[in-house]
Amino acid sequence: MKDALKNNKKIIILAVAIIIILLLGIAFAYLTTTLYGEKEYLVRAGSLGLRLEEENELTLEKQIPLEDSEGMKLNGFNFSLINEGKIDSDFTIYLDDIELSEGESRIPDSSIRYSLIKNDETLTSKNMTTMGTNPNRKVDFGTISPSQTINYTLRIWIDYDATTKEASGKVFKGKLRVVAKQSVD
């Protein structure tokens, strides 16, 4: 009986050893398996290089309401958008409010008129509310080619029909923001 028990112990130890080896082999095979997908992913790096050059400030302060014909004669806010990259860039130019100093009040957009000149092409004068609302006032958008420069002049003035309550003693201060992206084919 002792021999039979000894043989059973050997068989059990051998069976346990084989099971452990099989489990280790399966775990190793599972952990080192590499699966390959069928989709291809493409990453392209472009050269996004837009530069915004501003020449003067964009401020309305101590102004009087003007007719459109007079507002169109004002010195404008001049700026240029330059694509220094190597591929086309889609862009949007926004006009954002600048925080006012203590004691200043902002002129409402409904009391401000604007005109935009783009590469010597004058766009009609409009109420600033047609741009949208801060911070999403769109001045212009489009696509700019490599080495291309777009020159702008933005004129702003107080609407002739603005009431004293809307515009008197109030200020408008703004800054431009450009958002650009490059599409990949």
The phi and psi torsions of 166 (rounded to 5 degrees) equal -75, -35
Both structure tokens of 157: 């003035």
pLDDT digit string (tens) for 110-135? 999 999 999 989 877 889 999 988 88
Same domain, 22 and 85: no
Closest to 179 in 3D by CA, of 117, 120, 96? 96
Q: How does residue 51 score in pLDDT terms, banded at 50, 70 and 90? A: low
Domain of 62, CATH number, reads 2.60.120
Same domain, 30 and 57: no
Strand partners, 79: 54, 152
Task: Give the whole-angstrom CA distance, residue 46 versus residue 148.
Answer: 16
Q: Is 44 within the bounds of a domain? A: no
Q: Is 66 within the bounds of a domain? A: yes
Higher pLDDT, 84 or 41: 84
Same domain, 78 and 169: yes
Same domain, 11 and 75: no
The answer, yes or no, to whether residue 35 has pLDDT greater than 90, is: no
Q: Is 43 within the bounds of a domain? A: no
The domain containing residue 7 runs over which residues? Answer: 1-34
Q: How does residue 50 score in pLDDT terms, banded at 50, 70 and 90? A: low
Q: How many domains does the chain have?
A: 2
- pTM summary value: 0.69
Strands 138-144 and 89-97: antiparallel
